[in-house]
Structure formats: structure tokens, C-alpha cells
Structure 1
Amino acid sequence: MNNVDETIYNLLNHSSKSSSSQSTNSKQHYYRSIFTSNVLQNFNKNKHSHRTMGLAIIPKPDPTHPLRRRQNYIELPKIIPFIRSHRMPPIPKVNQQDNKNQIEKSSKNFIEENINKMKNSLPICPRRYIVSDRKGNKFLIDGSGLEKDFIYKKNYGKTPRYLEARKIVHEQSHCHSEDNSMIMLPPEERLSLINNLKDRYEDVFTEYQHLPLHLETISNIMKKTNLTNELVNIEHDIDFLEKHQKIFIVNNYSDINKK
């Protein structure tokens, strides 16, 4: 090959030479102070001086000046007693009754009493749960509505006691009023009224059956309406008398009618 031909190796050698020449030039022009060593020495001089406190430097006692009595004693300030502005009440004396009560209380054995209570007490029933799903979520059966607790109670379907007591008080207040204006209807009269109403119902019903099937005149139509109204009223009165066993009426009912 001729020297004129260029190759990549020539370029590489040329670049390495140029870089080395640049580095030498930069080192020559780099500034370095004369006092760098002094600065580093001063910086590292007191770097770890306070890492540990070390032993306390205490001057040794001089044998010519021995320790005197109460030399290192520190005098505290005088204690001033606290004076109350008012007098406290006197301490109560112990009476003989208090001593007796204390003796009675001390004679009681609380341990035996607690043991007897635990023996006689009933065991606590476990709470009943029901599992709702496969993950184990559960809830209480009592109060959930799944069991019919309310139906099987003893007082199911019965009137409460407070209502019965209130009813008795209400009846007594009407019976024993101050002016005695109301009296209770005796049961014999009530039964006689029921029988009379039933007889009257049969009579009116027979009269109703005697009416023609096809009503043409106005008088027959009016008669039918009156009979039906009377039958309804009689049925209502019979139901009222049979339902209520105690009925109160006005005492001077005859005097009121006369007026």
C-alpha cells in the first residue's frame, strides 16, 4: 500500500495523540493554591475533639488547706409554716354504736356467702345463633322472627291486666258517683229486654214476608223500607245487649220522661 492511502488506523492514532496533548495542556494550566495543606490541617485539627467528654479535670486538694466542717453545706431557705385563715372542724369522737356496727360487719363471712350464691345460681344459657351463608355469617335466632315465640305465650289472645283494672275502675267511678244519677241494669231485666226484642223481630219479619213480590204502589214501597229499617234497628239493639253484660241507665229515667 502507498503512504498516500488513508486508513482507519491512522485516524485512531491521530485521535489518541490529540487527546494526550489536550490533557497535558489542561494539567499545565490547572491552578493549585499554596495553602491547601494548611487548610486541610486546620480542618482536621478539631474534627473529633468533642466526640467524648473524657475524664473530668478536677484540681487535687491541697494538703495545706484541709476540709473544714460544713464547708460544702448549702443552706436552704427557712420553711415558713402555713397558717389557715379559718379553723378546721374538730375530729368526731367514736361512739359505742359505731363500734357495735363495725363488729357486726366484721362478723359476716363474705366468702361463704359468695360460694353459696354461686352454688344456688342457675347456669347461663348459651346464645343461639343461625348461620345464614356458607362464609359463616351468623345472627341471633331470638328476635329474628324465625321462631313463633309470641303465639306460644301464656297471655296470648287475652286482654292485658292493666286494661281490666282500668275497666273496673271506670265502672266503679260510674256506679259510685256523688249524685247517684246512674244505676246498673239488673241481669234479669236485660234478659227480658232481649227476649222481647226477639219476639218483636219475629213479628216484624212475618209482616215483611206477607208483602207482595212485585211492589206497584207507593204505600207498599214505603212500608217495605220502614220494615227493613225496623229490623236493622232491632238487630243492632239485640247485639248491643248481648255484647255488654253491664249496662248503666239513668236513675230517674221516669221523671225525665214526664218532664
Structure 2
Amino acid sequence: MPPILAYNESSLPASSLDERLQLAAQHHLALEIANSGNLDWEPYLKANIPIAAVQAYAMHDVHPLHPDAQHRQQALHHVHQTLEIAAQLQVPRIVTVCGFGSDVVDSPFERCLDFFSHCAAKAKALGIKIMIEPLSPRRCEAMTEPYRIGQLVDTLAEPEVFTTLLDTGHLLDSGYDLEAFLPNWPFPTEELQLKGPHSTPPDFSLRPWLMQLPFQPAVLCVEHRQPITLSEFEQLISAIRLEFPLNND
């Protein structure tokens, strides 16, 4: 089945939540939304707009690689809470990471393996996939090598629960050539986030990236931190739809 096209809700060129929801509906987009720990999910439920994924966004601060055990426990609680929100919204997947920042725990692979193992039962019971996203070394001191995340998913050995998410922006910031990297990526991947380097919007010339995929992601999601005008947003969405067959067209 072709992927659905989603947009990170905070990246949309509109100032209020109502305007962003209207913009997504107008352009037939699904949304990826962020749970920072206090997400009010009722407006999304009422809007009746497809939600592609819920980000466990508080993992910017609390995460499996944090050297403080209490922080790691808070991270586990946050992932469980995000799974519950996804279940309430009937969202089939959440976004997680291994860590942020320069202060990280010893034995990072083993810490992440233990952490995510404690998320598996709840995710399986709710029927929700946990996507683990490799970040660039600009964001974290450990577990940034994409193949290490793939090995983590393989070692967890719960393919109905754990999968990877690739972000082209983080890959570019890590120094990868996307046209060389993507055709050789061997791990299951549920979502491809489209982003340029340094959190810019992705380039309009998307075909060299998209045509190299050896996998069929369930979701293509545009995400960027740099603001974009409404005109640029519409050009970008049109370019993606010209380059790739989508399920929500």
C-alpha cells in the first residue's frame, strides 16, 4: 500500500492550532503531533483529521541514555503515556529516540535494550508500533549511528512492535549521501521523515531520495524547524505528490 503523506503539526505555516488543523484538512494531510507530557488530545479527536504518529517529545529531556536513573524512569513513564494517548486517538505508531545531549550513561546500547524491552508489552497490548529514530551527532553523544538503531530493533526481536524511523535531515547532518545510503538500508522502516540539513525544509527535488528506497514506508512525513511560507508549503506538498504515489490522494 502506498504511504500516507503527513506533516509535523508544529511545522505548518499557521499561527494557531485551529488554523493548522484547517490547513491539514484543506490539503488532505495527516498530522504528526508531539506529546511533551501535557498534550490536550481532544482538539485532534474532534477535528477528525488522520494522525499518523504521536511523538514522545519529552524524550528531549528524559530518555534512556540519561545517567540519572530517575530520569530514565520518567522517560519510561512518558513513553507509556504516549502509547496511551496514541490509543485514545487510534494512532498506530509513536516516535521515540534513544537520547539527547552530551551527558549520557555508560553502555548505551544495553541501556536502550533494557529500556525499550520494558515498553514492549504495553505497545503490543495496545497494537501500537514504537518507531526508534536515529539522530545526528549534533543532537546526542551516543546511539546516533543508524545501523546501531537497526541492530537495536533486531535485538529487541519484536517486529510487530519495534521498527525504525529515518529522518533525511539527521542523515544529512551526519554526513550521509542519501542516494548512496538509502538503497542499502537493510532494516524495517515504518516512516521516512523528509527534512533538509540543519532542520530546513526538504529540497523540492525529491526524486533522487524517494526513488532510492528499498522499503515502502507507511508514512512520509515532512518536518522542519525553519519557518516556511504558505506558498512554499504548497509548492513542497505539490512536489512530493508529483514524485511519489500516496495513499491519501
The TM tier, using the shorter chain, reads under 0.3
Bigger proportion of residues as helix: 1
Bigger CA radius of gyration: 1
Bigger proportion of residues as strand: 2
Which of structures 1 and 2 has the larger relative contact order (alpha carbons within 8 angstroms, sep 6+)?
Answer: 2
- The two structures have a TM-score, normalised by structure 1, of 0.17
